[in-house]
Chains A and B, each alone.
Chain A
Amino acid sequence: MNPFKSTNIHFTGQKRSALDTARGRLMVLSLFFILTYIIVVARVFDLTIIQGEMKKNKDSVSFLEAAPVEEKVIHRADILDRNGVILARSLKTASLYADPHLISEPKVVAKDLVKVFPELSYGETLQKLQSEKRFVWIKRNMTPDDQYKILYLGHPGLSFKEEERRIYPQGPLAAHIVGYTSVDDHGLGGLEAGFDKLLLEGDEPLMTTIDVRIQHALRRETANAIKQFDGVAGAGVVMDVNNGEILAAVSLPDFDPQHVNEKNKDALFNRLTLGVFEPGSTFKIFTTAAAIETAGANMGDVYDARDAIKIGRFKISDYHAERRLLTLAEVFMHSSNIGSVRMAEKVGTAEFQNFLKDLGLFHAPEIEIPEVGAPIIPKPWREINTMTAAFGHGIAVSPLQLVTASSSIMNGGILVKPTLVLDKSGKGHKSNNVRVVSEKTAHRLRQLMRLVVTDGTGGKADVPGYNVGGKTGTAEKNEGGRYEKNKLRSSFMAFFPAENPRYAVYILVDEPKGNKQSYGFATAGWVAAPAVAKVIESIVAIEGIKPQEGDELGGTLAAYVKTKEQIAKERELAAFQTR
């Protein structure tokens, strides 16, 4: 309907003049304009006040003209353990200061302040408030609750300065992994440094693979072992052998990330990833694996361990000397250096080198923290290096590398990459399924490791029902070019359950001293093995792993291990023959 049609405005009367018609038209027109203006005004209000504000700050809509400009607070992101327990978090802490010039009733204010903070003294506070300065600190770093109380008092002249503070509620528990930050909120060590940029961006918390409960168990037992045997330092790690996730990682002595003393280099030093040591007998895992994998060695192969090996000025002898012909199983079980050298000779220098290289022992491992130590590999690598490396000397690797490489064998032969960051997709970190040894070799190694615990040097690591397999490692420390007989590094590398390992547990104690309980021994079997057993006991309780009915691998190599009677008989026979 057209409102401008003349028929529509003929409502004022039948007799109409031209003036009436004009007035009528004017009225319609003005009505139209009023309506239009109302619409325009409404639209303008909508666009400028409502939508305009919305567009100004897209995410925080403020309709209030008087509302304070909301700053989006970006905290340095949290670092959490695998269960969400906070390892590091930035907290806003407020510090209270006063401008005495603005305070009219210092006595009342001081009284109120002392009420909120009972630890402040009334006299001192009053003195501060009456001073001539324009700025006095009243209280640094208070909780939001206390801040609210002060605001509630509403005294003029009291103001807050807000600061971000990095808090590590777990204290030194995982200090080397989590790391620490500088005063200006920059990561200086561990994950804080490794993911500094990402953490500064805020929001998404960094979820690590660490489990604080297992971490605590490992730290407790490593510390106990150091204390019990009067060691100087230690390290330990618990790794998931299938995906390389590090559930616990300890380096002792450690530090409190809240109060870092930069001068205490010893405590800041990460022995697990940055420190490289001669691993000692744990390295025989690789020698034996190489012999089985590349030289086709069998469990029953016999190695002559009757006499020490002399090469030039070097002499290689056995710690647990058997002085007889040993089968491969016995070489591993008694941790015979001589036997291992014979094994490595069988493998050959080039093959042995390649094997170690494939396991990632020749280059620094990749991990998310910056403290990574490169291994020390003899260059050039001569035949003598093959011989010493066979029992873990003359080559230095970090404990992390050692555990990663052994895990790669024990998990069935797939190379793993150590990681500290939880992969939520659940795919794990197996690096493209690179196979390092065959499943058969892996199975042999599992049998051998179990044998070490059931019959060999690692008996104290056994936890009934959990079929622990492992290898001891006692290395003499090399100081100034010569090996110290009394300065040892005792370590134990364990896997459980041996038939299908899930966890690798490794503990190293630096310079343990024998005591009464260990009959003066400071070797791995006495120092590190029982500590590993205790960690395993804690892990099964934490993870709720049920004990197993049988022991699949225990005793499977009995045919290759001579009993005491057999050995005695053999000795008799040998004596008879030489007569």
Chain B
Amino acid sequence: MKIFRISNLLSLALATFFGVLLFWTSQAVQQKEDELAEIKGNLSHEQETIRVLSVEWDYLNRPQRLEKLAVEQLGMEPPGGEEMVKTVNDIPEPLLIPNDPVYHDVSLKPAPATVVPKKETVSPSTAEKQSFEKLIQSLDGGGQ
């Protein structure tokens, strides 16, 4: 009785092939699953971070705060009705000082930039960030 007949060999090879294929596929799938789970974890973490950061963004961009900073740091003031102009032509020409070399002699190097004295509150990021954290902390009324 022949065992190693072509038909037997063929079926054995076929079975082995499918077995290996199945194992390989299942391994590949599992690997992808792991990757997916990690990506999902990162995604939800990022989403939660975005939620927090967008709140922080809007907190730091409160109109009150921007106005205060613009007034204190940039010397700006709320616009009056007359600041709005009808057309571009209504914008006044920059005031030229007749003998100011800056406007006349192109070869002149620009004057050294004057260092604007910075006020203490110029870096609001740290202080404001802390105040945001305080806001979150204080939610519980400080109770432990």
Chain A interface (Cβ < 8 Å from any Cβ of B)? 12, 27, 30-31, 34-35, 38, 41-42, 45, 62-64, 67, 70, 75, 85-86, 89, 91-93, 137, 140-145, 148, 165, 167, 169-171, 173, 212-213, 215-217, 220, 258-259, 463-466, 533-534, 536-538, 540-541, 544-547, 549
Contacts and interface: CB of A to CB of B under 8 A. Distances in A.
25 contacts: A27-B7, A38-B15, A64-B33, A67-B37, A86-B55, A89-B54, A140-B139, A141-B136, A143-B133, A144-B45, A165-B139, A167-B135, A173-B63, A215-B63, A216-B67, A258-B135, A259-B141, A534-B78, A537-B78, A537-B79, A537-B81, A538-B79, A541-B78, A541-B79, A541-B84
Contact of B139 (A93, A212, A464): A93
B20 interface: no
Contact of B140 (A89, A141, A167, A212): A141
Contacts of B136: 91, 93, 141-143, 165, 167
Contacts of B81: 463-466, 533, 536-537, 540, 547
Greatest chain B CB density within 10 A among A140, A148, A536 is at A140
A254 B64 CA distance: 15
A148 B45 contact: yes
A137 B144 contact: yes
Nearest to A140: B140
B93 interface: no
Contact of B86 (A165, A213, A463, A546): A546
Contacts of A75: 51
A463 B14 CA distance: 90
Interface in B91-131: none
B86 A547 contact: yes
Interface in B45-59: 45, 48-49, 51-52, 54-56, 58-59
B132 to A, nearest CB: 9
B80 interface: yes
A144 B41 CA distance: 13
Contact of A537 (B37, B49, B80, B138): B80
B14 to A, nearest CB: 8
Greatest chain A CB density within 10 A among B33, B80, B139 is at B139
Given A38-B15, A148-B45, A258 B84 contact: no
A541 B67 CA distance: 14
A258 B139 contact: yes
A519 to B, nearest CB: 23
Interface in B1-54: 5, 7-8, 11, 14-15, 18, 22, 26, 29-30, 32-34, 36-37, 40, 45, 48-49, 51-52, 54
A45 B29 CA distance: 12
B55 A538 contact: no
A463 B81 CA distance: 6
A173 B7 CA distance: 85
A173 to B, nearest CB: 7
Greatest chain A CB density within 10 A among B40, B64, B83 is at B64
A538 B78 contact: yes
Interface of A is mostly: mixed
Contacts of B58: 85-86, 169-170
B73 interface: no
B112 to A, nearest CB: 35
A12 B7 CA distance: 10
A541 to B, nearest CB: 4
Contacts of B5: 12, 27
A91 B51 contact: yes
A44 B11 CA distance: 22
Contacts of A63: 29, 32-33, 36
Contacts of B7: 27, 31
A169 B37 CA distance: 33
Contacts of B144: 137, 140
Nearest to A60: B40
A216 B63 contact: yes
A546 B84 CA distance: 6
Nearest to A37: B15
A89 B11 contact: no
Nearest to A41: B22
Nearest to B18: A38
A167 B84 contact: no
B82 to A, nearest CB: 7
Nearest to B60: A169
A67 B41 CA distance: 11
Contacts of A12: 5
A538 B67 CA distance: 12
Given A140-B137, A541-B79, A169 B84 contact: no
A287 to B, nearest CB: 31
Contacts of B34: 64
Contacts of B48: 92, 144
A41 B26 CA distance: 13
Given A27-B7, A86-B54, A258-B139, 19 more contacts: A38-B18, A64-B36, A67-B33, A89-B54, A92-B48, A143-B136, A169-B59, A170-B58, A170-B62, A212-B62, A213-B63, A216-B62, A216-B64, A217-B63, A220-B67, A465-B86, A537-B80, A541-B84, A549-B86
B141 to A, nearest CB: 8
A534 B137 CA distance: 37
Contacts of A213: 63
A463 B138 CA distance: 43
B84 A547 contact: yes
B129 to A, nearest CB: 10
A537 B80 CA distance: 5
Contacts of B36: 63-64
A239 to B, nearest CB: 19
Given A140-B137, A173-B64, A91 B52 contact: yes
A173 B139 contact: no
Contacts of B62: 169-171, 173, 212, 216
Contacts of B56: 169
Contacts of B141: 259
Contacts of B26: 45
A212 B15 contact: no
